[in-house]
A = this chain, B = another copy of it.
Amino acid sequence: MLDSVLVWIEKNRSLWMHDLKEFLAIPSVSAKPEHKGDIQAAAEWAAFYLRGAGLHATLVKTAGHPCVLATTPEGLCRPDAPHILFYGHYDVQPAEPLELWNSPPFTATIRDGKIFARGASDDKGQVFCHLAALAAWKQIAYELPVRLTVLLEGEEEIGSPNLRAVIAENADRLASASTLIISDSAQFARGVPAITTGLRGLVYYQMTVTGANTDLHSGVYGGAVANAANALSTILGQLHDNQGRVTVPGFYDHVQVPDAALRAMWKSLPFHEAEFAEELDVDQLYGETGFTTLERRWCRPTLDINGLTSGYQGAGAKTVLPATALAKLSMRLVPEQDAIKIAEAFESYIHQITPAGVRVKLERLSASPAALTPSTSPAIAAAVEACEEGMGKKPVFVREGGSIPVVTWFKEMLGIESVLLGFGLPDDNLHAPNEKLDVECFYAGIRTAAALYDRLGKMK
């Protein structure tokens, strides 16, 4: 039956492209209040499409933007079909800066075999691959190969503030699923499909150093009283040693180096440090010594300053001793690290190294652990076969440096493991101008999704 579905998918390329463009045309920017109506429209569009595939789809109200929740009604799948959960998000990042786009962000435009639009890859385009695959199954087979629950979120790009509540409220309908499918990652490279089996956690702080009660003249007061910007720099300058290692005591205590087999597998991946450096326009890459660039991204914890603000920031010179200095700072964690313990160790270390004459305030904005997902399981085996069927190649197993908190939440709240299988490419310009999805990746994504549900349906 899958063969007929795949033929149908190929025959209807222009239909899928038309529908994708319609979905991408809705500017569902979750961060901006003026797009509230568009967010609602995008949710309704997705629900409508799911209904076309035979699912029972409703909008679930939250304190913020709605979720789309769809399930297979009686008769749309075998009664004994495995229960599979698909999660995606229909909201997108703001398109700004608009002047850097070569075509309008909400008018999907095909150039050089690529579909350019905000959301083309993250995540509307990849979600749509699943919607199209389900529609094709329904059209050809009159049923779906799995019992399916689809959960589409409208707040992923603003930190999923209401998703845990939705999961908790719908636990009854979700908990019996054996596997969570997510297509919000990427292939490793063009022609190298990837299953992502590890994500880093995130601890985020805002740090405010305060010296005197007002900005002071740096001539009159310089040397007499602590300068908040000097003190902040003194603190931040001590957070790495000269090997690029984080100096927070205990930071690496439980961190394990991946086994030789995994390191060897990663080394074999088609990744070229020189090309990567050239793409980023840096003379050389930089990070913790003793690890490859992929290892530093995938299995080493890091500490990064995300923002700095203090004193005079305008043109020219102003001789001021800043009264306050602020840093935004995040740590990416690996699975062996306890997010709360790391956060506490960080706080204690900062207070210990804060120079005399200033006060430091630490605001913890998030603390979520890393996640590892299985690399062997019936669902993973199904995903591997789906890649071969839909993309013509076995996938490699990789990790991601970023965080997808929903993976952790489904595991912790409902005990469900995830399979992270993306169709896009690493150069899709996520969160940036000229986001795109390669046309061939798009059709391969529909095929792969169709094959994935086929194989998942045959799991014992």
Which A residues have a C-beta under 8 Å from some C-beta of B? 31-33, 93-94, 96-97, 100, 157-159, 186, 200, 202, 204, 206, 211-227, 229-230, 232-240, 276-277, 280-288, 293, 296-297, 300, 302-322, 325-328, 330, 332, 355-359, 365-366, 400-403, 426, 429-434
Asked if residues B306 and A432 are in contact (CB atoms below 8 Å), the reply is no
9 pairs from A and B in contact (CB 8 Å cutoff): A96-B314, A222-B304, A223-B287, A223-B401, A233-B237, A233-B308, A237-B237, A284-B356, A319-B431
Asked if residues A320 and B306 are in contact (CB atoms below 8 Å), the reply is yes
Task: Give the residues in chain B near A281, CB-CB below 8 Å.
Answer: 212-213
Task: Give the residues in chain B near A328, CB-CB below 8 Å.
Answer: 311-313, 317-318
The docked-state distance in angstroms from the alpha carbon of A208 to that of B221 is 25
Asked if residues A224 and B297 are in contact (CB atoms below 8 Å), the reply is yes
Asked if residues B237 and A319 are in contact (CB atoms below 8 Å), the reply is no
Asked if residues B307 and A214 are in contact (CB atoms below 8 Å), the reply is no
Asked if residues B216 and A432 are in contact (CB atoms below 8 Å), the reply is yes
Asked if residues B234 and A240 are in contact (CB atoms below 8 Å), the reply is yes
- From residue A297, how far is it (CB to closest CB) to chain B in Å? 5
The docked-state distance in angstroms from the alpha carbon of A157 to that of B318 is 7
Closest to A430 in B: B217
Task: Give the residues in chain B near A224, CB-CB below 8 Å.
Answer: 276, 285, 287, 293, 296-297, 401
Q: Given that A214-B100, A216-B280, A233-B233 are known contacts, is A286 also in contact with B320, CB under 8 Å in the complex? A: no
Asked if residues A93 and B318 are in contact (CB atoms below 8 Å), the reply is yes
The docked-state distance in angstroms from the alpha carbon of A327 to that of B322 is 12
Task: Give the residues in chain B near A157, CB-CB below 8 Å.
Answer: 318
Closest to A158 in B: B316
Asked if residues A307 and B302 are in contact (CB atoms below 8 Å), the reply is no
From B330, B355, B358, B400, contact of A218 by CB (8 A): B330
Q: A202-B319, A211-B282, A223-B302 are in contact. List 9 more A-B contacts (CB 8 A).
A: A31-B318, A32-B315, A200-B219, A221-B297, A223-B288, A227-B304, A233-B237, A233-B308, A312-B328
Asked if residues B297 and A306 are in contact (CB atoms below 8 Å), the reply is no
Asked if residues B308 and A311 are in contact (CB atoms below 8 Å), the reply is yes
Asked if residues B316 and A365 are in contact (CB atoms below 8 Å), the reply is yes
Asked if residues A307 and B318 are in contact (CB atoms below 8 Å), the reply is yes
- From residue A219, how far is it (CB to closest CB) to chain B in Å? 3
- From residue A106, how far is it (CB to closest CB) to chain B in Å? 17
Asked if residues B366 and A317 are in contact (CB atoms below 8 Å), the reply is yes
The 4 closest A-B pairs by CB, nearest first: A237-B237, A219-B402, A286-B357, A233-B236
- From residue A366, how far is it (CB to closest CB) to chain B in Å? 6
Task: Give the residues in chain B near A33, CB-CB below 8 Å.
Answer: 315
Closest to A329 in B: B229
The docked-state distance in angstroms from the alpha carbon of A219 to that of B379 is 26
The docked-state distance in angstroms from the alpha carbon of A213 to that of B431 is 14
The docked-state distance in angstroms from the alpha carbon of A401 to that of B320 is 13
Q: Given that A293-B224, A316-B365, A320-B307 are known contacts, is A283 also in contact with B357, CB under 8 Å in the complex? A: yes
Asked if residues B217 and A432 are in contact (CB atoms below 8 Å), the reply is yes
